[in-house]
Structure 1
């Protein structure tokens, strides 16, 4: 009997279409392979392994081959390194200068290798267009600055990536833009917080590093009641586990450095829009700020996407096992992982996610000292920032990433002194559990 993974790999391989006529690189539109069967049935686990939800409507689509074809096509994607291209006429140059997707003009306007990645990302999130950027913050900043103007009001979740929080608390106030932070766990909080001058509702779900879940439908409803744009950071979940556009979100943001790239070897970002109009506005701001993604970096992210569903399967399953282990340790006060029955928003996670992901956090009873000692005591896991790679990474937010925030900002964000964030990798689950067991004992001494 053919294994599910082998069957999936064969489906992904597909068949090569004939290249278009003419020398050099030809363009063609490859078929989209529907991985809904892979996501909803091939990877369905027995009842005793609740790493996945029962939701089966997800359609995960991946282009198995690049649109960029060499004359003699190979199995990997070509990389177009040109920063500029010859033009047929001055008129063509004028037309391309105002085009959001010229076929060949200047790499800050677009690059064939980068555009191939953008097409794939739009497919994965179910959006109209995607824009790849040189970092996750390049995508986040471009999208936020597009959505607000002087004197506007923003509503955002209280638990966010640190640099995103600093945009709302330290950059936007320079332009008279006020942000109201809401606890996404409180029902009705979004509706209560929007005002007539609210122009942006910003969510991050699951949130970094507390794993708080935002009810996307509730946030969208609140935003639409006042005509505000909605943006959702989907980095933690990835499009395998969640597609915010399906719930009405206008723009989806990613640090592609994380799960999309998946190997801790590239820095990149992306924004995917539900409609072309928002994309055009973000592209204008992006063009001014200049956070362009290079073709080699685009190639690395595109390569990482080929194994995204497979990585997420293993990492999510290991995260579930690790979370269950941590929950039984007396030195651990609480574990934040959507796949646990004890997680306060477990039902919401099952409702809007296809799987619970590979991120978790937990709080040690020993507070600040125990948190620091734990992350310094691990052996198999690595003490490092970032997430989403093949290796397990741990960090202590209170002393590291969230150190720049004030005590009040950390309290509002839910960052306790003993909180430890974990990005679960591809290591053996039993090895990781043994490593964490030893580190917890060391931190408790």
Structure 2
């Protein structure tokens, strides 16, 4: 009899909810349960058959109670362990039962028709997010490619990454989807008429520097002119040197109806932090795909930074229980820079040997066909060593930062490049065939 009264009481309480259900307020971004609410999560079941099972779960910071087979009901939990809801009929009471250690072990149910205890049989497990589909790895082939000259003209095409596909775009022609084979062969959909094969070309370090297209009339070489970073590539060297990615600044919601109007990414005690007014700070790091990795991030929320075609962070996209929220970056403060350890000393200008020693390094260029150049001091003299060519054994540096020496080819001018602090960053080589920029790296 007691079982029937309890079952009837629960059915009476929950049945009207199918007609009049409490409206759930919009969830606030980055909300989370407190410890008291978390302790209430679980499944509560009567030992007597026929009594509906009650489940307590959460959506954001909102506790949800549902009797088996009935709609969900938003509830609040007070300090006495009592669960209440505005739509419950009068005379119904749900109170958590705790053991001597304060652990929730069950629920006491009181109704006008009778009552009883439900035993907590398991803690509610958070719904596991569906595993994100593995994203295709973007090959480092993006950029503009230009052909050799043909009858006074050149053909230009651009490799871009769009919606998970590698595409080839050429003015006046339809876009082509490109697939790369293990042997660096290229195939397109649709196929290019009259082309028998296409293949990437690489330098000695394996970097893609162009492609070659073969037709019945012969071969046509394309040179890669630009080298944009593929999406998800490692942070630029400047970011790595600073130890922090270039993500700092204020971000504004693109949707006026967003529950959060803006947020800010800043550095606190050397760590990256997401700040939302009225919410706890979120400490985070970025993985290689620009996903936000935050151990203290609220359950059910995942975030990712988004880059433009030049690799610059422009948005923060958050997947939340209320949908996808997009925040556009409005300010671009520079991350703390690494301490300069090899900035030139003022005395260097008056010390010829010190000026030469500041040039030591390995100089490389993206221009095909030009060698790697090493500069080093030997026996007090600057030696310039082009890979595979005769070294310049006693190079001189003029006041205008121009290099000279026996062995430098006729018509070549070499000028040292420096940053605003006077540090050597590379060199510019002007030749009868064109100019080339070299970037300096420290000697190994």
Q: TM-score, normalised by structure 2?
A: 0.19
**Structure with higher RCO (Cα < 8 A, 6+ apart):** 1
* Structure holding more strand per residue: 2
Larger Rg: 2
Q: TM-score, normalised by structure 1?
A: 0.19
